[in-house]
Amino acid sequence: MVEPGDEGGEAPCFAHLVDESAAMPLAGDGVDQDAPVMAGTEVWFNPSCSKCRTAQGILVEHGVAATYVDYLGSPPSVADLRRVLGLLGVEGPRAIARRGEAVWAELDLDGATDDEVLAALAAHPILIERPIIIVGDRAIVAWPAELVLELLEPAPDGPAST
C-alpha cells in the first residue's frame, strides 16, 4: 500500500482484498440475462449499510457483476482515495467524508488540510461515504442508492461502459 504523501507510480487497486462472500449474488442468480454486464465494476461496500445493500440489489437487477470491496476490513490507501476522488471529479476529500461520525470530531478534522483528511480516511475508513461505485473511468457515491443508475447509462462523452 502507498503511504500518505507517496505520489509515485500508478495508484494501486485494493480490489484483491475482497470478501468473496459479499460478491453474491452474481449474474445467473435470478438476474435478467439480456442485461449488459459491465466489466470492471467495483463497489466499496459495507454489508451492514442499507444503502450499500440497496445499491447491490440495483446492480444485480441490471445484470452487473461487480467486485465488492470490504473497505472497512481492507481500507484504501491514500493513493486509492486520490484515484477515486479523480474519478468522482471532486475537489477534495471532504466530498466523500462522513463528517457526522464521532471520530471526525475526535480527530478535529474540521480545520484539517486535504492531506490530513486523506490520511484520516485511510486510517479510519468508517469516515468514507458509502457506497462508492466505480465503473471504468467513472465513479459515484451512491447516496441515495438509486444514483447507481447514472453509471448504468452511457457516459456523456462516449459509449456505454459495457
Q: Which residues are catalytic?
A: 49
DSSP reduced 3-state for 26? coil
Helix, strand, coil shares of the chain, percent, nearest 5, are 35, 10, 50
DSSP reduced 3-state for 147? helix
What angle do helix axes 78-88 and 114-123 make, rounded to 10 degrees? 110
Nearest to 148 by CA among 156, 138, 158: 138
Nearest to 122 by CA among 91, 90, 96: 96
CA distance linking residue 115 with residue 93, whole number of Å: 8
Contact indicator for 4, 118 with CB cutoff of 8 Å: yes
- CA dist 159 → 48, 59, 88, 152 (Å): 34, 19, 18, 11
